[in-house]
Chains A and B, each alone.
Chain A
Amino acid sequence: MADGEEKTPRGYHDLGGHPAGPVDRSEHVLEPWEKRVDVLCGILVDRKRRLMTIDERRDAIEKLGEDAYNSLKYYELWMAAALKLVLEKGILTRDEIDGRVDEIRARLGLEAGP
């Protein structure tokens, strides 16, 4: 390593070599919401729209914080990161997202969200 260069510590997402238990090799059936997140994230990064890049989303996942990284499911991480970027880039506002969630909740007959 070059002298005087800042050494960034290993990220919580960079897991190679950490002790781990056996690998669960059973098939994991995706739930409908997981498929929707996959498609939505694909649309956000496609060549036509280019609203964000896959690497920006990965970078955002690496900045969600260690607790979030270790507790959220795989597609929850995708969703949290995409949401963060959508807000940061001004693609949608918090009010627009909350308004739409309320609209959907009302349509489905659910109570208002927190």
Chain B
Amino acid sequence: MTARFAVGERVRVHDRYPPGHIRTPYYIRGKSGVVADMVGAFTDPEDCARGGDGLPERPLYRVRFRQTVAWPDYAGDGRDTVDIEIFEHWLEPEPG
């Protein structure tokens, strides 16, 4: 498995809303964060949900987002973060 992103790299979640079984939470699409960890490689749940074999396995990352990014009206501490496990095909390098 070749991982496209390294720990510490800034990434953006695709701003996409396809049908089907999608494990990327709705609220985080289009938001930017930083790769906190590599979780491993797993079969693609979107393909498996359609009856496919999910291969090739896809890298899964733990991506850390500021709560103020996830929720524009977040009233807590500005340093608070949320970690979300996101597959590589849902990530792109942060633009700009």
A residues within 8 Å of B by Cβ?
1-2, 5-11, 14, 16-17, 53-56, 58-59, 62
Contact = CB atoms under 8 A, between A and B. Distances in A.
Contacts of A53: 48-49, 51, 54
B16 interface: yes
Contacts of B71: 17
Contacts of B19: 6, 8
A54 B48 contact: yes
A86 to B, nearest CB: 14
B49 A8 contact: no
The bracket for how many chain B residues form the interface is: 20 to 34
Nearest to B15: A1
A39 B43 CA distance: 22
Contacts of B26: 10-11, 14, 16
A14 B28 CA distance: 11
